[in-house]
């Protein structure tokens, strides 16, 4: 008589307490492009300015809608008037750009010298007549992508709680414009495609094509998305009322989720995140189950995507991947890569909110059991020295890491991929799974090319190009 082995459980550890990640003020890079009528003012030292210049590149053809308020010695020693200086800068921003909202991004320095940005903002907002949103994105308290989390949490408080008459009129005008040239029967047929369910608002900053894709995926199931946080314009923030349902698209938005639940009294749909075909299917299925809708065609859709990915899967099947931890997408990416046939001995992650990521962790556990691979160890706030020693011992085929460690590991013969690339790539939804595998397999394909060609041949080939 054989005794069945008990299924493994996920193993969690916490090592140090330091964040070895990209600076969270870099969230300005994608948020200022996403919120088209915004202006971001980063309040910090010259170091912050140098970082933004290097991280975001040189904008030659367009002036970006962000700026640095550089703190000098007089500011830090409290000899200058913070309010007057910020007022001067905001007046200049209003005069030059006239945005619908100014977002103040607090940095490590404002945190250390205890600048009361939340106290200064309301008074200044009433004087200049432009909303001022204060978000703390300092590297002392937050990891890389949590900068976006603090901005969206602050914006959640600015979402209207009741649709004003003017808003309704404006929306009706937009609807009329969208339906221009259509017969009444066609418009009625479009509206009848949706099931009768409570309002749903999705939160998380995604490129517009991905927003459209996910909105259409839900529309196929009869689910209507009432709005996105953030919207393309600050003036179009979604209405949030008590009892509205909300769902996140990224695993690093736990503070936003908490704000929506506690302050706006919304109901959070705890779903895995729509990264990879497996995650996208689970995300849609969970939203459908909450609204009592029977999902249609998702299994076939997922199977079709997997078949289209087979050329990439052949490259990584049976190989191992190790996550050092940087952008808080690690658990979702690991779950997807395990489903692709890889093994993952360790997932390093700067910060783990087990409540917000509970559905994702459950899907990771289920995926490991179904694929017959060991459960990964999840290490929160990993100690880099210890982690590098474990990499030497485990010898993984690929390490996904922050930019600081990539070159030293490559010099020691370890394949690496920058985690920051997954932050800026389109990785959500069914159709973008191929982009994830394009990034993951690139260092492996490069090494295969080097082996096949040899160094001399490779140099010759590149010289021809």
Q: DSSP string spanning 127-182?
A: HHTS-EEEEE--TTT--TTHHHHHHHHHHHTTS-SS--HHHHHHHHHHHHHHTTT-
pLDDT the model gives residue 398? 92
- Does 164 fall in a domain? no
Report residue 83 as tokens. 């309010």
Q: What are phi and psi of 200, to 5 degrees?
A: -125, 125
CATH number of domain containing 68: 3.40.50.1980
In a shared domain, residues 67 and 81: yes
Q: What are the angstrom distances between the C-alpha of 114 and each of 53, 84, 119, 137?
A: 25, 17, 11, 14
In a shared domain, residues 348 and 393: yes
Give dist(CA 156, CA 204) in Å, integer: 11
In a shared domain, residues 316 and 268: no
- Which residue among 299, 328, 362 closes a domain? 299
In a shared domain, residues 279 and 341: no
Count of CA atoms in the C-beta half-sphere (13 A) of 242: 3
In a shared domain, residues 341 and 444: yes
pLDDT the model gives residue 17? 65
- Does 154 fall in a domain? no
- Does 417 fall in a domain? yes
The boundaries of the domain holding residue 404 are 305-455
pLDDT the model gives residue 461? 58
Residue corresponding to tokens 């996904």: 400
In a shared domain, residues 217 and 278: yes
3-state secondary structure of 63: coil
- Does 168 fall in a domain? no
Each residue of 309-358: pLDDT tens digit?
998 899 888 999 999 988 899 999 999 999 999 999 999 998 888 999 99
3-state secondary structure of 13: strand
Give dist(CA 309, CA 388) in Å, integer: 31
**Contact residues for 393 (Cβ-Cβ < 8 A; gap 6+):** none
Tell me how crowded residue 55 is: count the other CB atoms within 10 A of its CB.
Answer: 15
In a shared domain, residues 320 and 280: no
**Contact residues for 105 (Cβ-Cβ < 8 A; gap 6+):** 25, 27, 28, 40, 41, 42, 43, 44, 135, 137, 147, 151
In a shared domain, residues 404 and 372: yes
Give dist(CA 110, CA 377) in Å, integer: 36
Tell me how crowded residue 22 is: count the other CB atoms within 10 A of its CB.
Answer: 25
Residues of the chain with pLDDT under 50: 1-6, 58-61, 77, 79, 165, 168, 171-175, 177-178, 187-188, 456, 459
Q: How many domains does the chain contain in total?
A: 3
In a shared domain, residues 295 and 311: no
- Does 351 fall in a domain? yes
- Does 148 fall in a domain? no
**Contact residues for 296 (Cβ-Cβ < 8 A; gap 6+):** 220, 221
Report residue 99 as tokens. 């945005």
- Does 161 fall in a domain? no
- Does 333 fall in a domain? yes
pLDDT the model gives residue 285? 94
pLDDT the model gives residue 68? 74
In a shared domain, residues 383 and 362: yes
- Which residue among 299, 330, 353 closes a domain? 299
In a shared domain, residues 344 and 213: no
- Which residue among 231, 265, 299 closes a domain? 299
In a shared domain, residues 234 and 129: no
């Amino acid at each position: 008589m054989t005794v069945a082995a008990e299924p493994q459980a996920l193993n969690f550890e916490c090592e140090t307490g330091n964040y070895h990640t990209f600076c969270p003020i870099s969230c300005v890079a994608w948020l200022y492009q996403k919120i088209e009528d915004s202006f971001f003012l980063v309040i910090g030292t010259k170091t912050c300015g140098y970082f933004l210049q290097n991280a975001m590149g040189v904008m030659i053809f367009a002036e970006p809608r962000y700026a640095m308020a550089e703190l000098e010695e007089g500011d830090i020693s409290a000899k200058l008037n913070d309010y007057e200086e910020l007022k001067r800068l905001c007046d200049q921003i209003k005069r030059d750009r006239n945005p619908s909202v100014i977002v103040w991004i607090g940095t490590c320095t404002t945190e250390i010298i205890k600048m009361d940005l939340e106290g200064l903002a309301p008074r200044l907002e009433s004087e200049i007549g432009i909303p001022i949103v204060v978000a703390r994105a300092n590297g002392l308290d937050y990891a890389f992508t949590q900068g976006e989390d603090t901005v969206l949490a602050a914006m959640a408080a600015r979402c209207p709680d009741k649709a004003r008459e003017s808003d309704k009129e404006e929306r009706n005008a937009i609807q009329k414009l969208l339906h221009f040239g259509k017969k009444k029967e066609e418009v009625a047929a479009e509206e009848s495609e949706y099931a009768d369910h409570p309002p749903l608002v999705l939160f998380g900053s995604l490129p517009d094509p991905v927003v459209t894709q996910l909105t259409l995926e839900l529309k196929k199931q009869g689910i209507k998305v009432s709005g996105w946080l953030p919207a393309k314009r600050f003036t179009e923030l979604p209405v949030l009322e008590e009892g509205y349902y909300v769902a996140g698209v990224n695993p690093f938005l736990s503070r936003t989720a908490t704000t929506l639940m506690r302050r706006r009294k919304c109901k959070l749909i705890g779903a895995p995140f729509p990264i990879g075909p497996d995650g996208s299917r689970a995300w849609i299925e969970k939203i459908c189950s909450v609204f009592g809708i029977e999902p249609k065609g998702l299994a076939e859709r997922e199977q079709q995507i997997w078949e289209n990915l087979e050329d990439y899967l052949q490259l990584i099947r049976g190989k191992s991947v190790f996550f050092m931890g940087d952008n808080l997408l690690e658990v979702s990416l690991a779950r997807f890569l395990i489903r692709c046939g890889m093994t993952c001995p360790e997932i390093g992650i700067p910060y783990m909110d087990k409540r917000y990521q509970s559905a994702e962790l459950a899907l990771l556990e289920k995926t490991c059991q179904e694929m017959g691979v060991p459960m990964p160890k999840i290490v929160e706030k990993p100690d880099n020295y210890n982690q590098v020693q474990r990499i030497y011992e485990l010898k993984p085929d690929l390490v996904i890491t922050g930019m600081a460690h990539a070159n030293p590991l490559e010099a020691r013969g370890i394949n690496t991929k920058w985690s920051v690339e997954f932050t800026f790539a389109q990785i959500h939804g069914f159709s973008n799974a191929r982009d994830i595998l394009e990034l993951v397999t690139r260092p492996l394909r490069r090494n295969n090319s080097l082996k096949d060609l040899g160094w001399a041949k490779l140099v010759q080939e590149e010289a021809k190009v």
